[in-house]
Structure 1
Amino acid sequence: MTAGRWLITLATIFSTQLLPTAGFQTSQAANPELQEFIQRVERLVLNTTDRALIITRNVYLNLSKEMPPTLLEATNQTMQNYMAQVQDALDGTSYTNFTLKRRLLRQFKVNNLQIELLRRQLEPLQPEFNFQLISDEFYKSEKNVTEFDNLYLSFMSEFAAASQQLWDRLSEPTVEEQQELLELLDEISKEQQLREKDKLYDEFIAMYLFKIEENEQEAKELY
């Protein structure tokens, strides 16, 4: 999703959410191949989001072991609150939909800025913390350095496989009906710049996935 904006960038995040056309909704209901594709990609996005949340939780678990006592005292409540929210999200007791989970990933980035500011104030000699977001090396050369890099590579590979399967199975009438969706998938597959590909993923998710009332209402509040 972003990650970068998936992910959180995964982190980097999503553009304004749009409603799919009525034609898309009708065609999805009538076309099992299209419906299967949408469901497959929704599962992929949700699974990737959950895995990203686990990574962020582990970052804070490890970080708390490295911090000097003064800094840990100042940041511990922030990290503990976040980890508890992540656990709720993974357990399904709250944050049960995609949009709310994305909000948690955004909160991770906000927390990191606050933690870094406190480090500079309280422990200026302490090296900057590595929060394990998608690395610059990955964006520049697709060299995977962090867990987020590996997660994003897996997401791209699975998304491409799902898209190709859809292309292989669609009937000619459905291809004509879903020209906008298929053009976007084609654009995603051809885009070589990862930051631009991020934006296209965001556009696709915003336009075609998670179109249920709960997510729509939360999306309005988030975006």
Structure 2
Amino acid sequence: MNESITPEKSGHVYIMTNHAMKNMVKIGMTKGSPEQRARDISGTGVPGYWCVNYKLWVMDCRWVEWSTHRYFSELRVDKSREFFRVDPKVAQVVIKHFADSLLDLMTSTKGAQDHAGSEENRQPFSPDIDWYVYPEREEVDPKAEAERHRKLFEYEKNEELRELRREEERKARLQREREDFERREKSRLDGFKVVKTIMQQCDRCNRDFTVTLMRHEQGARCPFCNQFSPTQVSW
């Protein structure tokens, strides 16, 4: 392996699409999983979920991403964002071309030295392909769009209701288990519960004393002579 290629530079270059953002794609890079990256950015701040349309593992993901962004610079929606008005299939061809060119570049010593330089001095390649931009978003039927949103709202509402129902069933099950445990514990402790206080006569000194008996006890010791005296108690 060439010294300019390190595991820290490798990663995925991806293309993501969003059904709520027609005629627009997101081109970026990640050293982790593109699917996890899509889940991370599919928050409440966007109207739809991001889907990975294409991904490619490359030796230098940052350089391939930078070259692709520069190639599509005129189609970039905003300079500080990774959104482009370009067809995903065309973007795939460009990314694949830069990845293959990078592999060829790494095989030569001079190319590897040029690649190891600063990012500002690197010149991206120009793939010889016929590419085109997306047309402006076509008009949609308001009734069809409203019906689609209504169905989506009902689906999300039903999912929320099902989740609430599952949560209520879980709480009810935990409550039943807690009540069963408390009932068994109470039944167990009832065997040790203090239930009677009686007057007992000692068999040795014939003195009377008061004793409080539990259900499992069969007698008591005399506080005067310490003699154990059995009792006949009907519970």
TM-score range, shorter chain: under 0.3
Higher-strand-fraction structure: 2
TM-score normalised by L of structure 2? 0.22
Q: Which has the larger radius of gyration?
A: 2
Higher relative contact order (CA 8 A, sep 6+): 1
